[in-house]
Amino acid sequence: MRRILPSLALVVFFSTAAARAGDLKLWYDKPADPTLPAKYGEKSPGWEQALPVGSGRLGAMVFGGTSSERIQFNVDTLWTGKPHGYVRQGAREHLDEVRKLVFESMQDTLDATEKDPKQKAAADLFRAKMISDPVRQKAFQPCGDLLFTFPGHDNVTNYRRELDLSTAIATTIYTVGDTTYMREVFASYPDNAIVVRVTSSLPGRLSFTMKLTSPHAESSNAVVGEAIALRGRVIDPVPQRQPGSRFEARVRATSTGGETRVTKDGISVKGANACTLVVVAATDVVNFQDVSGDPSARCEQYLQALSGKDYKTLRDAAVADHQKLFNRVSIDLGTSEASNLPINQRIDRVRKAGNPGGAMGKNPPLPGEIKGGLDADPALAALFFQYGRYMLIGSSRPGSQPANLQGVWNELLNPPWESKYTTNINVEMNYWPAELTNLSECHEPLFAMIDDLRISGARTAKEQYGCRGWVLHHNTDLWRGTAPINNIDGMWPTGGAWLCHHLWEHYQFTGDKEFLAKRAYPAMKEACEFFLDFLVKDPKTDWLVTIPSHSPEQGPLNAGPAMDMQLIRALFEYTTGASHVLGDVDSDFIAKVAETRKQLVPDQVGQDGMLQEWKQDWGQKDKGHRHMSPLWGLYPGSEFYSQMSDQKLWAGVRSLLESRGDGSTGWSYAWRIPLWARAGDGEFAYRQLNIQMARRVLPNLFDLCGPYQADGNYGATAGIAEMLLQSHVRVRDGYEIELLPALPKAWPKGSVTGLCARGGFEVDMSWDNGKLTRASVRSLRGTPGRVRYGKENIDLPVGFPATIEYADGFKGLAR
């Protein structure tokens, strides 16, 4: 008996470990085939099946071919354009006139559109004199491709390719005759490289050629030492073929056995056992104001640092680095036989099973659909959750650019919306999972971007409006453009306020006072300064309003839309809170902020019983609109949380949420997940996830806006976290943590470990039959508050780190 027990335990351990490892893999029995027709509407068909790896600074897509293989790679600072301030000269002189026209166009009974002559005049003047110069911002660019040819690898058996989220390695494996070939690809943050390892199971059987190419017309190859170099320059097609950033990539191959030759066109390997290729890449961009970097010197430096490191050393370092972040959170939402299928088949099953029926929202149910496609595959939801975390680790690491609309994975010279940073939902959504899912470090590139925007946004505040502080409108790019772009919907001055929310959130989760003092508070204070100057009195009501402004991508130019007011109220509150934490600094300034805050337009409920989107009661212009702007205060903001006693307001919030219905773009489903979770309705939250999976996910699990857009991936991850755990700052007495606030019926049994809560807590939970069975809430900082599960609750001890256990009821504390 004694002998059996340990081995039984081992079996149990290994089978759970195997199930877990399997749950963290995207695997396929076919390569991403670029000759297949684009099934889901992507421009490059193979792309929707290729697998991403990333180190924040570098990204690559692995296609997993046999006789030919493509690895497409990017470097985060390769963009069109050059350092540039976007403010249109003389914009400021037209502000008063635009304001006057917008105020005049805002009749109470009139649903202002450009049919209204005043509105049209305001919009025309804005477009002619106040929009940024040029009107659009610049685009993130692809860098190059490694194109492999493996002669004789046409007829293969035992083919499998996979991406293991737990190691961040993409593997392709297949057999030709009696030889098995394997390729592993990963992007290493510690070693600043993309690494490709090719092996054959029998010695001397590995032969291939590799070409290094680029989609950029102005590029050429050279041999530099033992490496092949690709050197090029981005040419911006807009407005007239302007030369932009210079870049370089280098590939060095080290083979065991056989013969390896490097020429300027590529690398050829004959009769080897194995080969390791390292890829490094750099641009001339030092920062948004300085492009004096030397891409060649940078590549040389990266390659030198890699000298003497064998494959195992590189692999071990990359895996350890990834796992340090990734392994902090585990999740199990249940498994089913679907877990044994290739991922594209699993997605197809959800797609075919269709979406939940019902007539919610503007999207009619698909024909023949039945309820709950994802119900049959709960592990796919868990995988999708972890995939968002994987993508954040891959696209946003300290020192890199923040994750853009496509993370760091783009192959197009003219990507949708320039693959830049849209700030009226998209870039913020990218960062929703950062703190919640224990990836706080991955938030850093966003903060570094805010450091830059304080500089570029201060110029815009001054030149465009004559205001102090800094402002950001609804987009930015590598050059930190901050002026209003594109069209009248670019005239939305609260992008910076929304970014400040992330500064305060980081402090709420980490308690990092140095961060608060040195970076968050100064940025928030200067953002407040902008609004103190920019807000003006509404002549009819005496409320203070933003003008001209927009409710993101809906309706006319107007004054004081609800979302602006919520964002500014939150910014003022955070800045006041930060000043208090820092010893009541700037008390006169803070008094002014508090006084101004009281005069902002309050949240209002309209005649239709719904929360108003605009200052005036204009009702619903587009019932199912993708943007959930006036519900910002529900998620990611928290303004409604502190007003729970206001039943009319809550009814208005809920009613608007219902009226907006299902999403449309991937990210709009993803936003509805945490919104419904905050409304305490796990079923509707789950419904959005379910439909997102059925309609808006590619076979490589990339989210679709229309084209691929990463925000919906990151957002769904945050949404799932919000269904399982919520945390709020309570008005008077610390934090409130809610366990399983919106658990859907589809996940009756499960567990999660390592989620984070505001106030500095880490939470593990298991549940069964839809009920919490065990929980462990670890307080890392001893902050006060309360843990709640349904109607049960327990107060947190103050002043010391502790663990609260729940096992069929709260069990109190362990020091």
Q: Within 10 Å of residue 559's Cβ, how many Cβ atoms?
A: 27
Q: Which is nearer to ligand FUC, 626 or 687 (CB)?
A: 626
- Choose among 338, 324, 25: nearest CA to 170: 25
Q: Which is nearer to ligand FUC, 597 or 696 (CB)?
A: 696
Q: 732 by DSSP, 3-state: which?
A: coil
Q: Which is nearer to ligand FUC, 429 or 743 (CB)?
A: 429
Least spacing, CB of residue 629 vs ligand FUC, in Å: 10
Q: Which is nearer to ligand FUC, 426 or 783 (CB)?
A: 426
How many residues belong to the site for ligand FUC (CB under 6 A)?
10
Contact call for residue 417 and ligand FUC (CB under 6 A):
yes
Least spacing, CB of residue 794 vs ligand FUC, in Å: 42
Could you give the residue ranges of the DSSP H alpha helices within 116-227?
117-129
Q: Which is nearer to ligand FUC, 426 or 690 (CB)?
A: 426
Could you give the residue ranges of the DSSP H alpha helices within 254-342?
295-306, 311-326
Contact call for residue 554 and ligand FUC (CB under 6 A):
no
Contact call for residue 321 and ligand FUC (CB under 6 A):
no
Q: Which is nearer to ligand FUC, 70 or 474 (CB)?
A: 474
Least spacing, CB of residue 627 vs ligand FUC, in Å: 6
Least spacing, CB of residue 383 vs ligand FUC, in Å: 24
Q: How far apart are CA 446 and CA 301, in angstroms?
A: 26
Least spacing, CB of residue 31 vs ligand FUC, in Å: 30
Beta-carbon contacts of residue 10 (< 8 Å; ≥ 6 apart): none
Give the residue, chosen from 139, 146, 299, 705, that forms a contact with ligand FUC under the rule CB under 6 A. Answer: 705
Cis preceding linkage at 37, omega within 30? no
For the chain, helix (H) and strand (E) counts, in that order, are 19, 32
Between 609 and 648, how does the x/- string for binding to ligand FUC read (CB under 6 A)? Answer: -----------------x----------------------
Contact call for residue 665 and ligand FUC (CB under 6 A):
yes
Q: How far apart are CA 76 and CA 194, in angstroms?
A: 13
Least spacing, CB of residue 634 vs ligand FUC, in Å: 19
Q: Which is nearer to ligand FUC, 221 or 426 (CB)?
A: 426
Task: Copy the structure tokens of residue 235.
Answer: 């040419």
Q: Which is nearer to ligand FUC, 679 or 710 (CB)?
A: 710
Q: How far apart are CA 473 and CA 42, in angstroms?
A: 29
Give the residue, chosen from 207, 221, 422, 690, that forms a contact with ligand FUC under the rule CB under 6 A. Answer: 422
Contact call for residue 601 and ligand FUC (CB under 6 A):
no
Classify 54 in phi/psi space as left (phi over 0), alpha (psi -120 to 50) or beta: beta
Residue 270 sits at the vertex; the CA angle it makes with 265 and 271, to the nearest 5 degrees, is: 165
Give me the DSSP letters along 409-476: ----SS-GGGG-EETTTHHHHHTHHHHHTT-GGGGHHHHHHHHHHHHHHHHHIIIII--SS----SEE
Q: Which is nearer to ligand FUC, 417 or 618 (CB)?
A: 417
Contact call for residue 563 and ligand FUC (CB under 6 A):
no
- Paired strand residues for 537: 544
Least spacing, CB of residue 60 vs ligand FUC, in Å: 23
Least spacing, CB of residue 386 vs ligand FUC, in Å: 24
Contact present, 168 and 190 (Cβ < 8 Å): no
Q: Which is nearer to ligand FUC, 255 or 554 (CB)?
A: 554
Least spacing, CB of residue 436 vs ligand FUC, in Å: 22
Contact call for residue 692 and ligand FUC (CB under 6 A):
no
Q: Which is nearer to ligand FUC, 268 or 486 (CB)?
A: 486
- Paired strand residues for 227: 224, 252
CA 296 to chain centre: 31
Q: Which is nearer to ligand FUC, 303 or 705 (CB)?
A: 705
- Paired strand residues for 242: 236
- Paired strand residues for 771: 768
Is beta strand 785-789 parallel, antiparallel or unpaired with respect to 735-739?
A: parallel
Q: How far apart are CA 319 and CA 84, in angstroms?
A: 39
Task: Copy the structure tokens of residue 785.
Answer: 């508050």
Contact call for residue 405 and ligand FUC (CB under 6 A):
yes
Contact call for residue 671 and ligand FUC (CB under 6 A):
no
Q: Which is nearer to ligand FUC, 260 or 486 (CB)?
A: 486
Give the residue, chosen from 477, 553, 603, 736, that forms a contact with ligand FUC under the rule CB under 6 A. Answer: 553
In this structure, the dihedral spanned by the alpha carbons of residues 27, 30, 33 and 35, taken in order and rounded to 10 degrees, is -150
Q: How far apart are CA 344 and CA 342, in angstroms?
A: 6
Least spacing, CB of residue 722 vs ligand FUC, in Å: 21
Least spacing, CB of residue 40 vs ligand FUC, in Å: 17
Least spacing, CB of residue 668 vs ligand FUC, in Å: 7
Task: Copy the structure tokens of residue 376.
Answer: 């049959």
Least spacing, CB of residue 76 vs ligand FUC, in Å: 18
Run of H or E residues at 18: helix 4-23
Least spacing, CB of residue 489 vs ligand FUC, in Å: 8
Q: 193 by DSSP, 3-state: which?
A: strand
Contact call for residue 426 and ligand FUC (CB under 6 A):
yes
Q: Which is nearer to ligand FUC, 76 or 489 (CB)?
A: 489
CA 727 to chain centre: 20
Q: How far apart are CA 486 and CA 420, in angstroms?
A: 13
Q: How far apart are CA 466 and CA 719, in angstroms?
A: 39
Contact present, 212 and 200 (Cβ < 8 Å): no
Instruction: Determine whether 811 is exposed, middle or buried from the number of CB atoms within 10 Å of its CB (0-12, 13-18, 19+).
Output: middle
Q: Which is nearer to ligand FUC, 249 or 391 (CB)?
A: 391
Q: Which is nearer to ligand FUC, 116 or 418 (CB)?
A: 418
Least spacing, CB of residue 709 vs ligand FUC, in Å: 6
Q: 803 by DSSP, 3-state: which?
A: strand
Least spacing, CB of residue 286 vs ligand FUC, in Å: 28
Residues that bind ligand FUC (CB under 6 A): 405, 417, 422, 426, 553, 626, 665, 667, 705, 709
